[in-house]
Homo-oligomer: A and B are copies of this chain.
Amino acid sequence: MPVITRADVEDVRFPTSLTRDGSDAMNADGDYSATYVVLRTDDEALSGFGLTFTLGRGNDLCVAAARQQVQTLIGRDVATIAADMGGLQRDLTADSQLRWLGPEKGVVHLSLAAVLNAAWDLVARAAGLPLWRLLADMTPEQLVDVADLRYLSDVLTRDEAIGMLRDKEAGKQERIAELATTGYPCYTTSPGWLGYSDEKLARLCREAVDDGFTHIKLKVGRDIAADRRRCGIAREILGPDRHLMIDANQVWDVGTAIEWVRGLADFDLLWIEEPTSPDDVLGHAAVRRAVAPIGVATGEHAHNRVMFKQFLQADAIDYLQLDTGRLASINEIVAVLLLAARFGVPVCPHAGGVGLCEMVQHVSVLDHVAVSGSRQGRVAEYVDHLHEHFTDPCVVKDAAYVLPSRPGYSTEMRAASVAEFRFPDGGYWSRA
């Protein structure tokens, strides 16, 4: 069986700040970036590719952290790793010195996600399966052994988790067959960046409707008059039956959030996303009580499963938006999917950035097939940026992710893209 012989971690940055793609009330000028981990084995045909997403500056910190964390994988054989991915994640999380820098948050947790994402990609490729399929084929016991349930037993024990997965075994193959036909539904954030003109917003909303999207999200929070104008433009194009969501990217205190969202309530909003500090569980709960029936959504900055546990315990969210680059890969994601299913809250993962859509399709499919068993109220995010840099990019057709079919986690970047956008010595940055 192949052995991991080398690990490369690259700092890849795309100059998205130039076009204001990704601009919102908190993040005016992000350069979408990846801490990109490549695991090589002594089998030339088998490698693993994983990443976490950042906004530019500081990507070097994640790269430096990942270079330390990945060392433990060198010399290990793929079969042994594959047999105990839960143990691998526990070992890497528990480093008694690095742990102080989190624990389980910030740079060392983002970098850990990149390393573990690469390991999961490797394991799925070794099995010759798309990652969602490798996981969906596991027994309930195997999948729960993968999940990081530490600190969760007050709401979810190991036995309860196994029981939940057993309950969904029936119908699994039917759900897979159904997804193969329909794909997994998604919504688009592409029209709604704050840096876009009203004309561009209107044009992109019309294109999204023409492409079959039934959900569109707008960035808000810089200027209430502008927000009302932009929501009006979007709502008119969407008509009364499609859904409009808004996203404030954490700019408000709790009181301001309540007041501002109420001021937009007549546009029939499905959810307000990140109304305040992503750490403020109780604040989200207060906003939710005050703005109902508008839902509250958050999660792209929720740094670990313990935060999600509390968002659920406190009845603080209507939609759970986990981030595949921020949680410690599939291990922590499966735990969060289980928590959400236990509390009956739909998971609508955060995506966009670079590579997040590619991962999210696997996670939402896994959720539907093996964990929640439902698509009710669920819609994954989709942003049409930077997919051309991947060898197996996600495909969206009729506003749905087409079921991934190639082995792995879909996050291998094109060698030419890495060579062009590696920071600071790639072609683009050398010329810039």
How many chain copies does the complex carry? Answer: 2
> Please, which residues of chain B bring their CB within 8 A of the CB of A276?
151
User: B106 near A101 (CB under 8 angstroms)?
Assistant: yes
Partner pick for A61 among B65, B103, B105, B307, CB 8 A cutoff: B65
Return the chain B residue nearest A276 by Cβ.
B151
* CB-based closest 10 A-B pairs: A106-B106, A57-B97, A107-B107, A154-B254, A56-B97, A55-B100, A151-B277, A279-B306, A55-B97, A153-B253
User: B57 near A64 (CB under 8 angstroms)?
Assistant: no
> Please, which residues of chain B bring their CB within 8 A of the CB of A100?
27, 30, 54-55, 58
Known contacts A103-B278, A301-B103, A310-B280; A98/B57 CB under 8 A: yes
| Chain A interface, number of residues (Cβ within 8 angstroms) | 61
A29 interfacial by beta-carbon distance below 8 Å: yes
Known contacts A107-B106, A253-B150, A306-B277; A282/B99 CB under 8 A: no
User: B64 near A30 (CB under 8 angstroms)?
Assistant: no
Q: How far is the CB of A141 from chain B (nearest CB, A)?
A: 20
> Please, which residues of chain B bring their CB within 8 A of the CB of A250?
103
- A57-B68, A61-B108 known; 13 new pairs, CB 8 Å cut-off, are A26-B99, A27-B99, A56-B97, A101-B106, A103-B250, A103-B277, A105-B106, A106-B108, A107-B108, A151-B254, A151-B280, A153-B254, A281-B310
Interface residue ranges, A against B (CB under 8 Å)? 26-31, 54-58, 60-62, 64-65, 68, 95-110, 150-154, 250, 253-256, 276-283, 286, 301, 303-304, 306-307, 309-310, 313-314
> Please, which residues of chain B bring their CB within 8 A of the CB of A309?
280, 282
Q: How far is the CB of A225 from chain B (nearest CB, A)?
A: 23
23 CB contacts below 8 A, A to B, read A26-B99, A27-B99, A54-B101, A55-B96, A55-B97, A55-B98, A57-B95, A58-B97, A61-B61, A61-B65, A101-B106, A102-B105, A103-B250, A103-B278, A104-B279, A105-B279, A107-B107, A151-B253, A152-B253, A153-B256, A154-B254, A282-B309, A283-B310
